[in-house]
Amino acid sequence: MRSLICFELKKIITRKSTWVSAVALYALLCVLMAANILQAVAYDNETGQRYSGLTAINYEKSIVKPHAGLLTTQLVSEEITGYQQEAFATVSPQEVVDLSSAAAYDLMEELLPAAECARLQSPYYGYLLSPWAQNGSGAFQTAARMQLDGTDPSTFYEALQAKTLRQLDAGLDPSSAAPLTNAEYDFWKQKVEALSTPFEYGYAGGWQDLLNCLSFLVFGMLAICIGLTPVFCGEYAARTDAVLLATRYGRTRLIAAKVAASLLFATAYYLLYAATIAGIILACYGTDGAHLPIQVLVSTSPYNITVSQAVWLGMGVSYVMTLGFTGLTLLLSSRLRSQVAVFAIDACLLLITGFVGTSAKGLLLKLFSLFPINGLSVGVLVKNFLSYSAGPLVLEPATAIALTWFVAAAASIAAAALIFRRHQVA
């Protein structure tokens, strides 16, 4: 059996279509990852200098790390109070609150010393003031409104929870993108109310970029589909099916070997792709902040996980998706005689669903979110209140996606084996 698996694996790897597509799409990934690093940009608000690439990454680290630590209510209150004292030492909050965001920061730069202005524009203060931000207002305007309203900054976690629940409440509106049922609403509300506080703040740029780049794994899935397209229909095209199916183990062990070799190829290439994405990003950004809560990146996330757990969750979901497309490709290959038709269907499901899904609503949104480009987005994985339910049973997107593609993989592989075993040679 082992020799049969090795033989089938060799057939997959040595096909010209396989290694050309695998090498080309891997090279594309390397180019995309290099561009991802080189296009990182940061601005020094004190000097006006623009940084790019690794210099930008190091600069971002330098302005976030001094504020790293546990955000206790006392610390948040002291920091916001200090911000207000500095920001409104020379200007009244009334003069700021009704300005546009750009006009407010222009006024800040005009009235405050460059160093102090740059410090107050730190993303740290933007994060602390985010629970009270309204209609895209910046930290300067939010602080002004809080001072005029007499808002207690020590209510940071209560305000953040209220903001999250307001977003959840919007999901009950029938006109929303994916209206929630009462069971789904209760499910998410319990998760929001069960979040562990206080949060720890810090730098997690590498994990944030890795989350944003998970969709690049789609190109790896595409290469796998190309490599596996001829597994069965290639035998039909070469007319070797008559010989293979007539042998002693042609309808049993040979089919099992083809399936096993396909799964091994898919797993190996997926691991290469995933390791390349994670390796390049974490080597450039560093692994800092792996233990930080996901709310450091998405403040209104309802998930009680760390940023690194969010990444590994996405990686796990994408691997199950890969297995699902492996099974689907084998099924199409066993049923169709045209390799072009098999690849076209795979390509449409991998790529076209991503473009269409961005404008979908309701059931279509939930359907397209099961596919890789949408399903591996930050919004679906850790941000939005998208859910899949059947009566009282409610599933998070990651669970629903993994379960769907696991079942699809098992059913498709079983069907492919059955179809090829029952194939009647003309």
345-362 pLDDT, tens digit per residue, is: 999 999 888 887 667 788
Q: Can you tell me the distance from the alpha carbon of 229 to that of 345, in angstroms, rounded to the nearest whole number?
A: 11
Flag the least confident range among 55-64, 100-109, 383-392.
100-109
The reported pLDDT for the residue numbered 317 is: 96
Peptide bond before 123: cis, by omega within 30 degrees of 0? no
The reported pLDDT for the residue numbered 307 is: 96
Note the pTM of the prediction, 2 decimals: 0.91
Angle in degrees, 0-180, between the axes of helices 339-347 and 230-238, rounded to the nearest 10: 160
Indicate whether 167 pLDDT > 60. yes
Flag the least confident range among 14-18, 36-40, 194-198, 404-408.
14-18
